[in-house]
Structure 1
């Protein structure tokens, strides 16, 4: 086994792709700045109890652990940056009003999501803290849509969910509430027969609970059709009614041109999210491109509960599905320390041109550039000529 081989589900990013990712990162951070978001950069490793505060068991399984040689405490390599951003808002910034934070950094997962996924991602995202209303949810969804539009993504589809519907059904039945993990996995897979078979696996679970869970698994599609059927068919308990009302209020605020759907069974992050969640899909990507939603009070683990909503995506995954980037043009220059030559090279570079000096006895072999001009000396004056 060669020492140049990487572990499974990890890959290098080569020059052309790296440039595309970096240019896209700059565009998106500049976009977030126009919305008033401030950028923060937390460390890639921190104490495990901080990384996993109030995030549920899924993140725990995805987080790699190691022992800190200085303190002897367990550290975690972050698999998600959102808990870190919550910590910064709650403990370090500690502001009273609304705070908008954005970020971009590498995260590492102990296991890939599937055979084609990378364990290392370049996560970029934005979070709003301090506002409990639908206005913050709308702004986050609008910014996530603008993120994909800025990247040049076409055929965007927005899918909404509210875990409060499923949570209310489960919490109304004690037998169901002590078997949450099993029930959530069946709902996410839309396994109606598996849900029907819970009567044999969970003692004393009520029949009306089973009927509601099976119905939820089929409640996906056109927004108003789903909402109407849910209101008619699900129990009229406050948690369900309130969740459906929140979805309907948000739908009325979204742009009419957005292709929109609802999937009440899409309860990813069930133990983490407290309100409306959403996923963005697009032509050219095989699964979710952007995910986000409301996660109020996660900051309580850091001493301060705050309303919160946000989104994130893998920048490498986004860039991989975009059209190939155009190679930038570059200028070839001879090697030399002549002051006139160095002066024109500096001037060209200050104007944004790529100027590559040919080192003695070699020729540039970069794949990233198109060499279409060169510096030549004519009548003791350096000038740019076409190649």
Structure 2
């Protein structure tokens, strides 16, 4: 007989202390977004797959739970990512001609975990800029991602930069290479040099030489000087390298690296890409970049750049939340006691009342004071720690 209380694999409850920590992080980061001028939107948890998985949303098809709508008979999907939803909101609901800054926070569901220690229900929080194609928007998004992580208490971060336009520019003038772009993506992502050597044997010599050099073009900002020597000199490549140099110089981060073969998100992004890492965590804590084609499927293609992160993963990196001081009070309908409790709560104090015949249990609070009767009055008394 199965246990009815067991949850599916890679799905877990969040208990009080951790839930409070996550909620405080959510508020802190959303407040950070707000002072940068980002407006909060709340897309629905599910919508028709024609909208949810259109355009760049196709990348999340395998991660999306699907079900049949009992009202319409159409197939709906539970969101696995919120970026496509926010693009739809920008294109059809807000529909401004000006630059629009939007942010979001909410659970997403995955059919399978991204890693062995990952959950299938990440809590995604992120920010996006629509309507500006300049590097200034990319720099703002990068700065906001780093500022948010620092505000959350994360230190020792390293920022890795890459550019989706680089591979496209490398293969643009070589039909054979262009036709093998998906295979090139897989080989470069895993840095499979034997496989890369075999695949590029039929490419133009200049294209082949550049592609074989990409996996070694990793390091600090100085690696860009080497890249300019070994990569072809065309407008797309020059633009990508200049973009990376600028973003590396303005990054407010302890360590900045550039990896020209890092193509994580290549199918999704159209320009610069970044990932923030911390020691001891193999996965990126935050990922972002430019995705100018995200709104095309909704009939309104606007420049777009943004980032997102998993609040659950971020929360696990932080120390346990400190217990909040609280006041213990007995249960009574005494008018003076009720008024005293009301005054304390209005002042922001936590007051925990015992219910008749029972004692309250809690993990988040530490009752360092108690309300005791003093004649007709009720006074606060420090609780003996012993």
Alignment of 1:310-321 (within 5 A): 310-321=306-317
Matches within 5 A, 1:204-353: 204-224=202-222, 226-255=223-252, 258-353=254-349
Q: Unmatched 5+ residue regions in structure 1?
A: none
Residue in structure 2 matched with residue 87 of structure 1 by the alignment: 88
Deviates more, 1:37-46 or 1:189-198: 189-198
Tell me the equivalent position of 1:354.
350
Write the distance in 2 (CA, Å) between the matches of 1:17 and 1:351: 25
Q: Distance in 2 between matches of 1:86 and 1:112?
A: 25
Measure how far apart 1:209 and its partner are. 3.0
User: How does the TM-score come out when normalised to structure 1?
Assistant: 0.95
* Number of the residue aligned with 2:56: 55
Contact 2:276 2:286 in 1 (8 A): yes
Residue 190 of structure 1 contacts residue 218 of structure 1 at CA under 8 Å; is this kept in 2? no
State whether residues 195 and 210 of structure 1, in contact with CA within 8 Å, keep that contact through their aligned partners in structure 2: no
The structural deviation recorded for 1:253 is: 3.2
Paired position in structure 2 for 1:21: 22
1:146-205, Cα deviation, whole Å (9 max, x unpaired): 1111001110111110111111223332223233322211111111112112257xxx44
Structure 2 stretches of 5 or more lacking a match? none
Displacement of 1:5 in angstroms is 0.9
SS of aligned partner of 1:55: helix
The C-alpha deviation readout for 1:46-91, integer Å capped at 9, x for no partner, is: 1112112221643111111111111222111111101111111111
Contact 1:56-1:271 within 8 A present in 2 as well: no
User: What is the number of residues matched between the two proteins?
Assistant: 382
Tell me the SS of whatever aligns to 1:223.
coil
Are 1:158 and 1:281, in contact at CA under 8 Å, matched by a contact in 2?
yes
Alpha-carbon separation, structure 2, partners of 1:79 and 1:25: 19
- Any idea what SS the aligned residue of 1:152 has? coil
> What do the CA deviations read for 1:91-135 (whole angstroms, capped 9, x no partner)?
110101111111100001111111111111110000011111111
Normalised to the residue count of structure 2, the TM-score between the two structures is 0.95
Distance 1:172 1:7 in 2: 49
